[in-house]
Amino acid sequence: MARTPIRKLLVANRGEIARRVMRTARAMGIATVAVFSEPDAREPFVVEADEAVPIGGDSPATSYLNLQAIMEAARLSNADALHPGYGFLSEQPSLARACEEAGIVFVGPPAEVMEMVGSKLTAKGIAREAGVPTLDFWALPAAGGEGGGGVDPRAAATAAGYPVLVKASAGGGGRGMRVVREAVDLEAAVESAMREAASAFGDPTVFIEHYVERPRHVEVQIFGDRYGKVSHLFERECSIQRRYQKIIEECPVESLDEHVRQGMYGAAEAIGRAIGYVGAGTVEFLVDGAGNFWFMEVNARLQVEHAVTEAVTGVDLVRVQIMLAEGEKLESALGPCEVRGHAIEARLYAEDPSRDYLPSAGRISRFRIPDLPGLRVDASVETGSEVGVLYDPMLAKVIASAPRREEAAGVLAAALSSARIHGVMTNRALLVAILHDAEFLAGAIDTGFLDRHPPAELARSGGLPSEHARLVHGAVAALGLQALRREQAGVLAGLPSGWRNNESGYQWVRLSDERGALLVRYRMGDGRSGSRRAKPIAITVEQLSLDESSLPEGLSGSSPSSLDVALWDVQPGCVDIEEGGIRRRYEIDHPSHASAPAAVFVDGPDGSSVFQVGERFPLAAGSSGAPSLVAPMPGTVTKVGVAPGQAVEMGETLVVLEAMKMEHELKAPSAGVVDRMDVVVGEVVALGQVLAVMKQGDGETIL
């Protein structure tokens, strides 16, 4: 077979991975073409590409999952190769096939290979034949589907032994996956997994297997060339997961016994050879505490976490992919390699771990990760980017490498701690806490890590500022808001802030974060020029319960903490104060540029805080509109369970909302009758949008 050099590469993906692939392409002298959806028009990956082709609408189905549009973009741009990235169409045989038909080099395995590994069931069969350990499994065709009465789920689960895992045969990333511990929950789990699988991958097939408790997730990177050669490029551990999504990955896995490690390398290569693997792939294994491992699946693409392998081997995995796609032999694409040092990757998500990882959308008003030695940042966003609800909420991968594991963890934690990420909630505090955790540092990790350490608790213990620092941050936020208001004042902006000739009250602002509400009261003083020392001011911070609705004037009971604060300089974006005798500079950011920002971000040497700014005039009782079921987040309606007029029990599911890969069931808050149903399946809803209105028997509308 002749070598076909690539001159122009179309990246059929978005965000971080599109930027990553194009970076290597540029380094290899290959021109780059991006494809983009309407909401992505201004994203960095589009701007950075040599050329970019708009491929359509605002949903993934009409853009990055739209095979025809992507192939048309390749034709239009005269691309001679296509890199699929990960996710979207990356593991769809149809894409590889379409490329083949169009005479475009596909940077990935051939369609037949994808078909084989795309079904986990098929892959497991091949692995078993190749002598690789696998768990027993039972496939379930779709209920009422063509397969008809296949296996009985109950019998299968009993045979596998509870707890069992119900898992979609297609796809990955934790979608269509359910752990079932008791028979009573099985039916609902199977139904919901199938629905999610069908919606996500177009294939409702699921299988049941025994659920290995507290397993480790270890995977082996493999490469294959067109000439039948397959070899591994070491392993990665991806055991720290939240809801089956990896969030921290590393290489190497130091705690594995050498014979286990070698066993996995051998198994991975055996599977690769058995299916004739070409390109970069990953073979995933479950490892139990005793060092037993079982084959799980093959990922026929570049993994999100490939960067840790790059960091310790010095190999550019995308470069190897491209060379193999061009028809190079494995020996020339990938020379002899060794692992040097240790690398850890953290995935920074726009989500709120304290609220069940609710995705957080918004405009990134500030994005800065410090440039520390050994640090690599693969970001999909930059300052000014919009994080929407349509795509994966990963903002960036941050990778630290160092000679020793603890050092890498330390550098990574430091980088994340001092990062400035404003405009959306992130899992940053959780990541930092994990990286500081003693169990993690001892290498005693498995996929149950975050079940044992509830994220909210963990974040509080490690990554979030101390209670005192939080109060200081509250005061700093109030001072920054104060400066912002003065700057934006239409009249008397140059006069001293909050000046009074007959002082009777305090200026105040109510702030809240996940720990509760704060009431900050202050007087800025006379505002006269003079002194070369910091100017002391009166400022108190009072902790309120979250549901506190009364306003400052009438408050009593809770004891305000008086802070010993003197001002050096107070600007809307920067507050320089002396607190308890120590001078610190804080950065402040108000993501919305309106005069009344909804959130304030405070970053200082003693940590970072995010506060929601309370309404100065909360709606008085009785003034709100009709109580209703509102969307807790933006998303797409995937199921409407009831119709107007229908009586429902408390807790009955009314609407299912899919947002950022997760299904959220919205349940009836009490028994009653559905009065109105304002949404239909497929509708995209905004945060706080009324979905349905219920009323009780006596006709009164209820929440």
User: Interface with other proteins includes 489 (CB under 8 A)?
Assistant: yes
Residue 618 CB, shortest distance to other proteins, in Å, is 8
User: Interface with other proteins includes 529 (CB under 8 A)?
Assistant: yes
Residue 527 CB, shortest distance to other proteins, in Å, is 7
CB atoms within 10 A of CB 322: 26
Segment lying near other proteins (by CB under 8 A), choices 57-65, 426-434, 483-491, 661-669: 483-491
689-693 LR contacts (CB < 8 Å, sep 24+): 689/630, 689/631, 690/626, 690/628, 690/629, 690/630, 691/628, 691/629, 691/630, 691/631, 691/637, 691/654, 691/655, 691/657, 691/666, 692/628, 692/629, 692/642, 692/654, 692/655, 693/626, 693/627, 693/628, 693/629
Which token pair is 321? 């992919």
Helix (H), strand (E) at residue 413 = helix 405-417
Considering only 2, 491, 594, 680, the residue that binds other proteins (CB under 8 A) is 491
Considering only 499, 628, 653, 695, the residue that binds other proteins (CB under 8 A) is 499
CB atoms within 10 A of CB 65: 18
Residue 524 CB, shortest distance to other proteins, in Å, is 7
Taking the C-alpha atoms of residue 314 and residue 303, their distance in angstroms, rounded to an integer, is 17
Taking the C-alpha atoms of residue 615 and residue 598, their distance in angstroms, rounded to an integer, is 9
Side chain identity at 338, as an amino acid letter?
A: E
Of 525 and 669, the one with the shorter C-beta distance to other proteins is 525
Taking the C-alpha atoms of residue 565 and residue 577, their distance in angstroms, rounded to an integer, is 7
- Residue count of the chain, please give it: 703
User: Interface with other proteins includes 549 (CB under 8 A)?
Assistant: no
Side chain identity at 193, as an amino acid letter?
A: A
Which token pair is 75? 């034709």
Would you give the binding string for other proteins spanning residues 566-605, x where CB under 8 A is met?
----------------------------------------
**Residue keyed to tokens 């929950």:** 185
User: Interface with other proteins includes 14 (CB under 8 A)?
Assistant: no
Of 440 and 522, the one with the shorter C-beta distance to other proteins is 522
The dihedral built from the CA positions of residue 71, 77, 81 and 85, taken in this order, carries a sign that is: negative
Residue 564 CB, shortest distance to other proteins, in Å, is 22
Of 393 and 480, the one with the shorter C-beta distance to other proteins is 480
Q: Is 654 exposed, middle or buried (0-12, 13-18, 19+ CB in 10 A)?
A: buried
**Residue keyed to tokens 């003083």:** 525
Considering only 490, 581, 625, 699, the residue that binds other proteins (CB under 8 A) is 490
Alpha-carbon torsion angle 377, 380, 382, 384, nearest 10: -160
Taking the C-alpha atoms of residue 348 and residue 398, their distance in angstroms, rounded to an integer, is 7
Of 336 and 494, the one with the shorter C-beta distance to other proteins is 494
Residue 408 CB, shortest distance to other proteins, in Å, is 46
DSSP character at residue 461: I
Side chain identity at 452, as an amino acid letter?
A: R
Using CA atoms, how far residue 528 sits from 488, 496, 497, 506, in Å, is: 21, 8, 11, 18
Buried b (16+ CB within 10 A) or exposed e, 138-162: bbbbbbeeeeeeebebeebbeebee
Residue 489 CB, shortest distance to other proteins, in Å, is 6
Of 501 and 545, the one with the shorter C-beta distance to other proteins is 501
Ramachandran region, residue 660 (left: φ > 0; alpha: ψ -120 to 50; beta: rest): left
Which token pair is 81? 């190769």
- Cβ contact 86:73 at 8 Å: no
Residue 569 CB, shortest distance to other proteins, in Å, is 15
Of 259 and 528, the one with the shorter C-beta distance to other proteins is 528
User: Interface with other proteins includes 554 (CB under 8 A)?
Assistant: yes
Q: Is 49 exposed, middle or buried (0-12, 13-18, 19+ CB in 10 A)?
A: buried
Q: What is the CA radius of gyration of the chain?
A: 28
Would you give the binding string for other proteins spanning residues 431-470, x where CB under 8 A is met?
----------------------------------------
Of 48 and 548, the one with the shorter C-beta distance to other proteins is 548
- Cβ contact 86:304 at 8 Å: yes
Phi, psi (degrees; rounded to nearest 5) at 457: -65, -45
Phi, psi (degrees; rounded to nearest 5) at 215: -80, 165
Of 114 and 477, the one with the shorter C-beta distance to other proteins is 477
- Cβ contact 218:290 at 8 Å: no
User: Interface with other proteins includes 492 (CB under 8 A)?
Assistant: yes
Cis peptide before 252 (omega within 30 of 0): yes
Of 426 and 540, the one with the shorter C-beta distance to other proteins is 540
Q: Looking only at residues 504 through 523 of this chain, which bind other proteins when binding is defined by CB under 8 A?
A: 504-505, 507, 509
Residue 373 CB, shortest distance to other proteins, in Å, is 43
Considering only 3, 452, 500, 583, the residue that binds other proteins (CB under 8 A) is 500
Considering only 148, 494, 557, 697, the residue that binds other proteins (CB under 8 A) is 494
Segment lying near other proteins (by CB under 8 A), choices 28-36, 144-152, 458-466, 527-535: 527-535
User: Interface with other proteins includes 482 (CB under 8 A)?
Assistant: yes
Enumerate the β-bridge partners of residue 394. 349
How many residues bind other proteins, per CB under 8 A? 36
Residue 86 CB, shortest distance to other proteins, in Å, is 48
Segment lying near other proteins (by CB under 8 A), choices 192-200, 286-294, 342-350, 525-533: 525-533
Of 315 and 600, the one with the shorter C-beta distance to other proteins is 600
Taking the C-alpha atoms of residue 294 and residue 313, their distance in angstroms, rounded to an integer, is 26
Segment lying near other proteins (by CB under 8 A), choices 66-74, 82-90, 502-510, 692-700: 502-510
Segment lying near other proteins (by CB under 8 A), choices 141-149, 481-489, 540-548, 649-657: 481-489
Segment lying near other proteins (by CB under 8 A), choices 77-85, 179-187, 497-505, 637-645: 497-505
Q: Looking only at residues 607 through 636 of this chain, which bind other proteins when binding is defined by CB under 8 A?
A: 616-618, 620-623
User: Interface with other proteins includes 495 (CB under 8 A)?
Assistant: yes
Of 231 and 482, the one with the shorter C-beta distance to other proteins is 482
Of 502 and 559, the one with the shorter C-beta distance to other proteins is 502
Residue 503 CB, shortest distance to other proteins, in Å, is 9
User: Interface with other proteins includes 536 (CB under 8 A)?
Assistant: no
User: Interface with other proteins includes 340 (CB under 8 A)?
Assistant: no
Please work out, in degrees rounded to the nearest 5, the angle formed at the alpha carbon of residue 176 by the alpha carbons of 652 and 92.
140
Q: Looking only at residues 257 through 316 of this chain, which bind other proteins when binding is defined by CB under 8 A?
A: none
User: Interface with other proteins includes 61 (CB under 8 A)?
Assistant: no
Which token pair is 615? 């309404």
Phi, psi (degrees; rounded to nearest 5) at 62: -95, 0
Residue 570 CB, shortest distance to other proteins, in Å, is 11
Taking the C-alpha atoms of residue 49 and residue 58, their distance in angstroms, rounded to an integer, is 20
**Residue keyed to tokens 């959306």:** 424
Segment lying near other proteins (by CB under 8 A), choices 13-21, 346-354, 482-490, 651-659: 482-490
Of 41 and 489, the one with the shorter C-beta distance to other proteins is 489
Of 330 and 520, the one with the shorter C-beta distance to other proteins is 520
Side chain identity at 460, as an amino acid letter?
A: R
The dihedral built from the CA positions of residue 139, 145, 150 and 151, taken in this order, carries a sign that is: positive
Contacts to other proteins by CB under 8 A = 482, 485-486, 489-492, 494-502, 504-505, 507, 509, 524, 526-530, 551, 553-554, 616-618, 620-623
